[in-house]
């Protein structure tokens, strides 16, 4: 009785999702105030917010897969950022094989770029699945502790990056070097590059597609079920091996496109994915580990905060801002925005 009452008391004292949102809101407000104090114009803040949403879209492409993979396989995939890198460089390699077409409308890329994306996504998804067959599945079969799985993914991350170094060197790379990428006025003096609007639109379209897959198809529901309770999934007769295949195909494919979009927005270098890993994990934790919709919400919050902070901080500190947010969430509400209390009860 006393223990029950005490638990209730403690629950009342702990912040719920609303509390966490308020905390994040205040953090954001603090950033905005700091920016205004330093004389940053509202226009620029608005423009940064728009950029933040776009960055959030790119992060979401990685974070949704990272969250799904953690949910289904119980694997914190440290190689996820490097899957993004591989996606970007594989796109670059394929583009080199095709003669450049004329730029598509206001965009800096040509039609064949879209074709390349459609090829690269399933390829990287399948590479990720092969890595699972070769490394993670034997570990799972032996009942390896999570730390071994995590360390293996770290080794794979290093391996993938080394391949990229070997193949392309350490220099910055562009999909279409030399092509002008002028910004156009969107509204109210906010200037963005058309490419960035494309990135946001593609990210949103893919996220909508993933939503439909998870909610409407049998395989999608089985993925959510396995992420929810993998032991029960097995007992219920769900073909968990097929769920694993789909999870890697979707997670790896989204990461590849996310990486290519990141490269399209700025430039590519072999460590790009590695530096995205921290914001990715921050997004996943913020939105509750294993919950793909939470990962989307987390990505948008991280993306906007990152960009806004660049108004007065060196943009290189962006990942650090994500890191601070992650620590805050872990301290205040480790189960994230959408976590259920008392999972084991």
Partner 1 sequence: MAILEVEGVTTGYGEMEVLRDLDLRVDEGEIVSIVGPNGAGKSTAMKLVFGLLSPWSGAVRFRGQDIAGIAPDRLVRKGLAYVPQVSNVFRTLTVEENLEMGAFTLTGPLEPRKERVYQLFPRLYERRRQRAGQMSGGERQMVAMGRALMLEPELLMLDEPSAGLAPMLVDLIFEKVREVNAEGIAVLMVEQNARKSLELAHRGYVLANGRNELDGPGATLLDDPEVARLYLGGRP
Identity of the residue, 214 or 268, whose beta carbon is nearer to partner 1 in the bound complex:
214
Per-residue exposure over 49-74, b if at least 16 CB sit within 10 Å of its own CB, e if not: bbbbbbbbbbbbbbbbbbbbbbbbbe
Identity of the residue, 185 or 231, whose beta carbon is nearer to partner 1 in the bound complex:
231
**Closest approach of Cβ 135 to partner 1, in Å?**
22
Identity of the residue, 51 or 224, whose beta carbon is nearer to partner 1 in the bound complex:
224
**Closest approach of Cβ 222 to partner 1, in Å?**
6
Which residues lie across from 143 on neighbouring strands?
A: none
Q: Which of residues 316-345 bind partner 1 (CB under 8 A)?
A: 340, 343-344
Q: Which residue in 177, 193, 151, 170 sits closest to 85, CA to CA?
A: 170
Identity of the residue, 153 or 230, whose beta carbon is nearer to partner 1 in the bound complex:
230
User: Are 198 and 204 spatial neighbours (Cβ–Cβ below 8 Å)?
Assistant: no
**Closest approach of Cβ 122 to partner 1, in Å?**
24
H/E stretch holding 191 reads strand 190-192
**Closest approach of Cβ 141 to partner 1, in Å?**
12
Q: What are phi and psi of 103, to 5 degrees?
A: -55, 145
Measured from the Cβ of residue 104, the count of other Cβ atoms closer than 10 Å reads: 15
The reply to whether 294 sits near partner 1 by the rule CB under 8 A is: no
The reply to whether 145 sits near partner 1 by the rule CB under 8 A is: no
H/E stretch holding 192 reads strand 190-192
Tokens of 83: 């899957």
Count of residues interacting with partner 1 (CB under 8 A):
21
Query: In sequence order, what DSSP letters do the residues of 235-291 get, joined into one string?
Result: HTT--HHHHHHHHHHHHHHHHHHHHHHHHHHS-B-TTHHHHHHHHHHHHHHHT-TT-
Measured from the Cβ of residue 192, the count of other Cβ atoms closer than 10 Å reads: 16
Q: Which residue in 158, 176, 127, 128 sits closest to 273, CA to CA?
A: 158
Q: Which of residues 16-35 bind partner 1 (CB under 8 A)?
A: none
Q: What is the dihedral of CA 31, 35, 37, 39, to 10 degrees?
A: -170
Alpha-carbon distance of 53 to 66, in angstroms, equals 19
Identity of the residue, 252 or 339, whose beta carbon is nearer to partner 1 in the bound complex:
339
**Closest approach of Cβ 24 to partner 1, in Å?**
23
The reply to whether 151 sits near partner 1 by the rule CB under 8 A is: no
**Closest approach of Cβ 203 to partner 1, in Å?**
24
**Closest approach of Cβ 243 to partner 1, in Å?**
10
3-state secondary structure of 234: helix
**Closest approach of Cβ 213 to partner 1, in Å?**
14
Identity of the residue, 112 or 228, whose beta carbon is nearer to partner 1 in the bound complex:
228
Binding residue (CB under 8 A) for partner 1 from 91, 291, 299, 307: 291
User: What one-character DSSP code corresponds to residue 185?
Assistant: E
Ramachandran class of 174: left when φ > 0, alpha when ψ lies in -120 to 50, beta otherwise: beta
Q: Which of residues 186-215 bind partner 1 (CB under 8 A)?
A: none
The reply to whether 39 sits near partner 1 by the rule CB under 8 A is: no
Which residues lie across from 110 on neighbouring strands?
A: 103
Identity of the residue, 59 or 222, whose beta carbon is nearer to partner 1 in the bound complex:
222
Identity of the residue, 55 or 222, whose beta carbon is nearer to partner 1 in the bound complex:
222
Q: Which of residues 216-275 bind partner 1 (CB under 8 A)?
A: 218, 221-222, 224-225, 228-229, 231-240
**Closest approach of Cβ 129 to partner 1, in Å?**
19
The reply to whether 43 sits near partner 1 by the rule CB under 8 A is: no
Give the interface with partner 1 as residue ranges (CB under 8 A). 218, 221-222, 224-225, 228-229, 231-240, 291, 340, 343-344
């Amino acid at each position: 009785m006393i223990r029950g009452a005490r638990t209730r008391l403690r629950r009342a004292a702990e912040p719920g999702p609303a509390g966490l949102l308020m905390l994040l809101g205040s953090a954001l407000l603090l950033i905005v105030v700091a920016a205004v104090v330093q004389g940053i114009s509202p226009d620029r803040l608005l423009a940064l917010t728009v950029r933040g949403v776009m960055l959030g879209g790119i992060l979401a492409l990685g974070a949704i897969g990272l969250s799904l993979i953690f949910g289904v396989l119980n694997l914190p995939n440290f190689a996820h950022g490097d899957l993004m890198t591989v996606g970007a460089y594989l796109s670059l390699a394929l583009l080199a094989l095709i003669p450049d077409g004329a730029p598509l409308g206001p965009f800096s890329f040509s039609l064949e770029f879209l074709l390349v994306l459609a090829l690269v996504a399933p390829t990287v998804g399948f590479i990720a699945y092969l890595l699972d067959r070769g490394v993670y599945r034997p570990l799972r079969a032996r009942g390896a502790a999570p730390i071994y799985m995590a360390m293996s993914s770290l080794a794979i991350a290093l391996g993938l990056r080394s391949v990229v170094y070997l193949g392309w060197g350490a220099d910055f790379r562009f999909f279409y070097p030399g092509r002008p990428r002028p910004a156009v006025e969107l509204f109210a003096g906010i200037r963005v590059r058309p490419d960035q609007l494309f990135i946001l639109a593609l990210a949103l379209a893919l996220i909508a597609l993933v939503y439909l897959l998870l909610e409407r198809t049998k395989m999608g529901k089985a993925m959510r079920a396995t992420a929810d309770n993998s032991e029960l999934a097995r007992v219920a007769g769900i073909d968990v091996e097929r769920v694993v295949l789909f999870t890697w195909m979707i997670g790896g494919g989204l990461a590849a496109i996310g990486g290519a979009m990141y490269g399209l927005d700025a430039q590519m270098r072999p460590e790009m994915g590695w530096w995205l890993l921290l914001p990715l994990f921050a997004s996943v934790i913020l939105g509750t580990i294993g919950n793909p919709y939470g990962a989307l919400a987390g990505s948008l919050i991280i993306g906007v905060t990152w960009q806004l902070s660049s108004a007065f901080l060196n943009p290189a500190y962006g990942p650090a801002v994500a890191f601070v947010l992650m620590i805050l969430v872990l301290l205040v509400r480790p189960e994230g925005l959408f976590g259920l209390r008392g999972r084991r009860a």
